Structure 1
Amino acid sequence: MSRAIFNKTLRGGLILGLLAAVSACGTTYNVPTASDKNTQMAANMFAEERDPATAQAGRRLSTSAALRQFAQVVARVEPVAERFCKQETADRPDFNCDINIVVDEQMPVRNAYQTYTKDGRPVVAFTVPMIADARNPDELAFVMGHEMGHHLGQHMHKQKQQAMAGAIILGAVAAYGQASANASNPYRYRGNDQQVLQDSMTLGAGVGQMAYSQTYELESDVIGAAITKAAGYDPVKGARFFARPEGQKTQDGNLSFWGTHPPDAKRLATVLATVEGIEANGGITRKTN
């Protein structure tokens, strides 16, 4: 085998290795395929939210009233979500279902996110502008369930694993390329090798972290719909929150909530299909290995 063919084969094998590594970090739950009816209904709902004449206006509350409404939603959703979590992770007794829902009083923009404390407790945080902007309790409940879905799906942990795998694989590709070039030309300039290697690892980490990002969002929508419905709220009405014609970035250039949770009709169609499945089968389903 010639060196060129060998190098090409090795690079191909490393890329396949990267794909295999990130594929091990796929979704836990089945994301239903939307029917034509779901897709059309979602497209209509999405169009309604994009048109000021037909968008659901909702009643804006004062900050104090919005915070009281938020507390009421938390009181209903949190215990339901924790029971759901314990039920779904009964085979993993060490899985932490003690989800703490908090108000982030420091962040000045509308946002909701899932994170962890230093000791590993899952946290779902809402900023005050986000709470005040919700048009109804269903929107709060759905966003809450969606963020909890990221914890149940272990998306942060999976993305870290994917980033590490991507950095290792593309770093190895770059290192092998440099070694091969050195073998072909012992006198070549090597002053940029370290930077090229670092850039390759950074690129690999970014590529790895982005793998399944859209699928993770849809999986969180599925879990969020189940939690929202179990808590007595309307997940379809709540999911309209994601269809708003909002900017992808805030005024200071950072990604907005809608930048990290891209709005599209597919999300609404997935929620519609999920609700149909829950009503027909009694719940959402996990993938079987």
Structure 2
Amino acid sequence: MNRSLRGLMAALVLAVPAGCGMTVAPDAGHAPVAQACRPAPGVIPAGLTPAATFAAVVARVEPVAEAACRERAPFADCDFLIVVDDRPDAPPNAFQTRDPATGRPVIAFTASLIRSAANADELAFVLGHEAAHHIAGHLDRQRDTAVAGAMVAGALAAALGQRDAGSLRTAQNIGATLGARTFSKDYELEADTGGTVIAWQAGFDPLRGAAFFDRMPDPGNQFLGTHPPNSARIDTVRRTLAVLEGGGRV
């Protein structure tokens, strides 16, 4: 994170009301679930620069995402590091990864995505979505399916007589790619659900935030594609939001 953004966040943390905690009474057969109270919406001042808007969103969403992480993934590292890639040629993008040295979860935004966001709700939804990937353990799950795909493809290639190192390596690479993509659409929809919950609990409008998809190329329902159709993603947000607004749990 660059120094100017860090300073903006420090100032805005003081201006943005902190979230509160509550324990929801358990349903039959379920343990009590600690959830963040939903703050009043509309706390991000209008007319801020894109960087200041993003800093305000981070100040509001990050503690909610970390609370959700501690609740749903108690053995995970929930100390998110949120960084900005300010390279002028970096296209609009956001992704979740880990610091290779420490294992700390990292959420990265490019500056071009921050500038292209139409409002704070879009930034909050994207941030919640990327945090939800970590909470659901998608990196590890994707790695496991990639390894399994590589093993199966390598064994099949060997059984078919392709025993030279180059052929086996090619088969394993193809298998790993297919394995990694097997559940990628499901992971995206699962992260959309989690992102909706996090953005809503932080006081933002996830459906307004999901309008971000309307400006993205629609991947449709491609065979072995990595992302589901935009319509499916918006439907997921809409259904999740209806449950939350009705007082239900997701």
- 2:56 maps to what in 1? 72
CA contact (8 A) 2:125 2:195 kept: yes
- 2:83 maps to what in 1? 102
Tell me, in whole angstroms, the C-alpha distance in 1 between the residues paired with 2:114 and 2:226.
17
Do residues 142 (structure 1) and 125 (structure 2) align? yes
- 1:239 maps to what in 2? 210
Alignment CA distance shift 1:163-1:245 (3 Å): closer
Alignment CA distance shift 1:260-1:201 (3 Å): closer
Tell me, in whole angstroms, the C-alpha distance in 1 between the residues paired with 2:94 and 2:166.
36
Structure 2: gaps (5+ residues): 1-45, 220-224
- 2:137 maps to what in 1? 154
Q: Alignment length, in residue pairs?
A: 198
- 1:115 maps to what in 2? 97
CA contact (8 A) 2:125 2:196 kept: yes
State the 1:263 CA deviation.
4.9
Do residues 280 (structure 1) and 246 (structure 2) align? yes
State the 1:270 CA deviation.
0.8
State the 1:84 CA deviation.
1.3
Do residues 206 (structure 1) and 166 (structure 2) align? no
Equivalent residue of 1:114, what SS? strand
Tell me, in whole angstroms, the C-alpha distance in 2 between the residues paired with 1:269 and 1:96.
30
CA contact (8 A) 1:112 1:127 kept: yes
Alignment CA distance shift 1:66-1:262 (3 Å): farther
CA contact (8 A) 2:184 2:226 kept: no
State the 1:215 CA deviation.
0.4
State the 1:193 CA deviation.
3.1
Aligned-residue sequence identity (percent) comes to 44
State the 1:76 CA deviation.
0.3
Tell me, in whole angstroms, the C-alpha distance in 1 between the residues paired with 2:76 and 2:217.
35
**1:212-264 superposed Cα distances (whole Å, 9 cap, x missing partner):** 1000000000000000000000000000101215487xxxxxxxxxx965552
Do residues 130 (structure 1) and 113 (structure 2) align? yes
Match of 1:271 among 220, 223, 237: 237
State the 1:273 CA deviation.
0.5
State the 1:281 CA deviation.
4.4
Tell me, in whole angstroms, the C-alpha distance in 1 between the residues paired with 2:153 and 2:147.
10
Equivalent residue of 1:238, what SS? helix
Tell me, in whole angstroms, the C-alpha distance in 2 between the residues paired with 1:247 and 1:264.
6
CA contact (8 A) 1:108 1:129 kept: yes
Alignment CA distance shift 1:247-1:215 (3 Å): closer
Equivalent residue of 2:90, what SS? coil
Alignment CA distance shift 1:214-1:260 (3 Å): closer
CA contact (8 A) 1:113 1:125 kept: yes
Tell me, in whole angstroms, the C-alpha distance in 1 between the residues paired with 2:229 and 2:56.
27
Whose strand proportion is higher, 1 or 2? Answer: 2
Equivalent residue of 2:82, what SS? strand
Structure 1: gaps (5+ residues): 1-59, 179-189, 249-258, 285-289
**1:259-284 superposed Cα distances (whole Å, 9 cap, x missing partner):** 96555211101110011122234321
Whose helix proportion is higher, 1 or 2? Answer: 1
Alignment CA distance shift 1:133-1:164 (3 Å): same
CA contact (8 A) 2:142 2:180 kept: yes
Equivalent residue of 2:169, what SS? helix
TM-score normalized by structure 1? 0.64
Do residues 82 (structure 1) and 63 (structure 2) align? no
Alignment CA distance shift 1:247-1:218 (3 Å): closer
Query: Which protein is bigger by CA-based radius of gyration?
Result: 1
Tell me, in whole angstroms, the C-alpha distance in 2 between the residues paired with 1:172 and 1:243.
43
CA contact (8 A) 1:171 1:197 kept: yes
Tell me, in whole angstroms, the C-alpha distance in 1 between the residues paired with 2:168 and 2:63.
48
